[in-house]
Structure 1
Amino acid sequence: MTEPESERVLDLLGDDYARQILAYLTQEPMLAEELGEQCEGSESTIYDRLDQLHSMGLVSENLQIDPQGHHRKQYETILNSVNVTFHDGIYEVQLEIKEDPPDRFARMWGGMRRD
């Protein structure tokens, strides 16, 4: 996945709800309803921020099925850090994204060459 555009990332991180969602998701994966209670935001606001965070690759979604058979999405942050650097009249935004073990293995394996 390509990194999101710098402007979009900075705009989204400038939003209090988006920052709160990311902060709460560092503790444990949560449902949107749980995040709404923690962030004291409306359901539509929480879902909107989650959609934006997910589309930028900053949170992941996992489908959870409860005992009654209902499907609900549980969210988890995959963002470790954001680094903004300023130099030569420009700025750059670098994101450090968590890499799960299968992706790390595939990247390492793909980097090996046969002799």
Structure 2
Amino acid sequence: MVEPESEQVLDLLADDYAREILAYLSKQPMLVEELGEKCDGSKSTIYDRVDQLQSVGLVSENLQIDPQGHHRKQYETILNAVLVTFADGQYEIQLEIEEDTPDRFARMWGNIRGE
């Protein structure tokens, strides 16, 4: 897995919706519609933030098939913690990211296929 850029992550975490989405997804995987209800945001805003979180590697996506055969994307966070330390006139950002083995394999396979 490619480590996300720390500066991008900090910029994204400055957004209220992004933080709320990560907080809700830390409890359980959710659909965008469910996140929209919880975060009280428009569907397009929630989709945008989820896409941004996914693009920097903080959210993963799973495809769910309902009983009628419809495909729906369910999201979950893989970010556990962000640590910012300041010392000697510099700062360092550390991300604690956790993926299980099947998710890691799926991400690597997607990268190989160019997805």
**Moved >3 Å (runs of 4+):** 101-104
Q: Which runs of 5+ in 1 are unaligned?
A: 105-115
- 2:98 maps to 1:98: yes
**1:91–1:101 Cα change, 3 Å:** same
Percent identity reads 80
Q: Distance in 2 between the 1:95 and 1:53 partners?
A: 13
Counterpart in 1 of 2:63?
A: 63
Paired letter, 2:76: E
Counterpart in 2 of 1:8?
A: 8
TM-score by length of 1: 0.84
**1:27–1:97 Cα change, 3 Å:** same
What is the aligned residue count? 104
The structural deviation recorded for 1:102 is 5.1
Q: 1:18-57 residue pairs with structure 2 within 5 A? A: 18-57=18-57
TM-score by length of 2: 0.84
Q: What's the RMSD between the two structures over aligned residues?
A: 1.6
1:63 match: secondary structure = strand
Q: Which runs of 5+ in 2 are unaligned?
A: 105-115
